[in-house]
Amino acid sequence: SRGSEMCIRDRKNALVMYANKMKINLLSAFGAFLCITALAYLNGLQGGSLWLIPPFGASMVLVMAVHESPLAHPKNILFGHIFSALSGVLVYMLFGYSPVSIGIAVALAIFVMMTTKTVHPPAGANPIIAVVGAKGLTFVLMPVAIGASFIVLFAIIYNRLLKRKYFTFKDWNQLLNSK
């Protein structure tokens, strides 16, 4: 009776909670699908241009699955990617390709992200791409800065549509006006 009613109610509550969690997971995965598919489509349209780099997949994990994390903050995504790519390009320009230059590039990227408070772990792969791929300064603009900007705009809009707590354009204005 009373005990079995509570047990049934507890099971129903657990089932509802599980269904809500699965809905959130599905919406997060779908958001990543939409954004990465769009970048891949743009990549296919531009024969010589690269819109899509592997670190962007990891960035999507952060903006969709743990969007409230400081590591998923737009400032961290955009500048973490840019500073890391720039670190790799500069190290490559100075030292060329070698195992040591790859290590220096990643170390420099970490130092710069920590110093500028723009740590974004997926961006730690950018210096490796820059050194191994012998990338020049254009790599920092395209695909890195443009792709990261695309991800940030997508994440702001998508998370807002889902009424999730995420960085907003109002936050951006407050950030700019506080300096």
Residue-wise pLDDT for 18-66, tens only, equals 999 999 999 999 999 999 999 999 988 876 668 889 999 999 999 999 9
Give CA–CA dist 172/106, Å, rounded. Answer: 28
The per-residue pLDDT for 55 is: 97
Nearest to 121 by CA among 53, 52, 70, 172: 70
Mean pLDDT to the nearest integer, 86-90: 98
Residue-wise pLDDT for 114-149, tens only, equals 999 999 999 999 999 999 999 999 999 999 999 999
Three-state secondary structure of 101-165: HHHHHHHHHHHHHHHHCCCCHHHHHHHHHHHHCCCCCHHHHHHHHHHHHHHHHHHHHHHHHCCCC
Asked whether the beta carbons of 109 and 122 are under 8 A apart, the reply is: no
**pLDDT more than 90, % of the chain:** 74
The per-residue pLDDT for 49 is: 66
The per-residue pLDDT for 139 is: 95
The per-residue pLDDT for 152 is: 96
Q: pTM for the full model?
A: 0.87
Average pLDDT, rounded, for the chain:
90
The three-state secondary structure class of 54 is: coil
The per-residue pLDDT for 116 is: 96
Q: Tokens 């590039």 correspond to what residue?
A: 105
Would you say residue 113 has pLDDT above 70? yes
The DSSP secondary structure of 63-83, one letter per residue, reads HHHSTTSGGGSHHHHHHHHHH
The per-residue pLDDT for 59 is: 98
**pLDDT more than 70, % of the chain:** 89
- For the chain, the first-to-last Cα distance in angstroms comes to 64
Give CA–CA dist 174/179, Å, rounded. Answer: 9
The three-state secondary structure class of 98 is: coil
